[in-house]
Chain A
């Protein structure tokens, strides 16, 4: 099956700094990728939809200036948490599906655990 890879798998940063998380589709092209956030013992919450070559679409309540998304190629989307604070500590997960299949299988990355001190 298709593979989605995230990097880094975990990161610790100081409050006020910015952190970039990469999401790559390794063996397929993804015009659309999705970013989720998951707090401990909670479900995944969709943050935004990343579209190759255009602006991301953010879910209600998600600050687009704080969570910068760039989808510059068909295999790479990045999420930058700007001016991170302890409340941004969470498990960030990306997913993608094969182009053109709205109901197709979602392929998820391994997740990136962010801890902000």
Chain B
């Protein structure tokens, strides 16, 4: 099964860090994990991806568990513009789960 598992929704306060988890227990050793986010009425936007090591970019950080069966997207300081649906997917399978709706409170 190529689907990943994420919590339905999460809430954060503005300027605080957010940790969005994803379970991908069926992942194999060569499968990357990608994260995308989608604002209402827009196409998804790439956030970050990784294979084994933790990754950082200007948008977020990605922490990948040692057994690679889970990962966590970290937004270091949430802003109102980060409110979106966040998806973790395996790009070779192109299967989107329900994603996590992130709500950011001011």
Contact = CB atoms under 8 A, between A and B. Distances in A.
A87 B75 CA distance: 38
Contacts, number: 57
A44 B45 CA distance: 13
B92 A103 contact: yes
B68 to A, nearest CB: 14
Nearest to A94: B43
Interface string B87-106: 10001101111110000000
B49 interface: yes
Range of interface residues on chain B?
A: 20 to 34
A73 B4 CA distance: 33
Interface stretch (B16-24, B29-37, B76-84): B29-37
Contact of B36 (A45, A104, A106, A113): A106
Interface residues of A, number: 26
B41 A103 contact: no
Given A45-B96, A106-B36, A93 B43 contact: yes
Contacts of B45: 108
A105 B92 contact: no
Contacts of B87: 43-44
Contacts of A44: 44, 87, 96
Interface of B: 31-32, 34, 36, 41-46, 49, 87, 91-92, 94-99
Given A106-B36, A107-B46, A111-B43, 12 more contacts: A4-B43, A34-B94, A36-B96, A42-B98, A43-B97, A44-B87, A44-B96, A95-B43, A95-B44, A103-B32, A103-B91, A108-B45
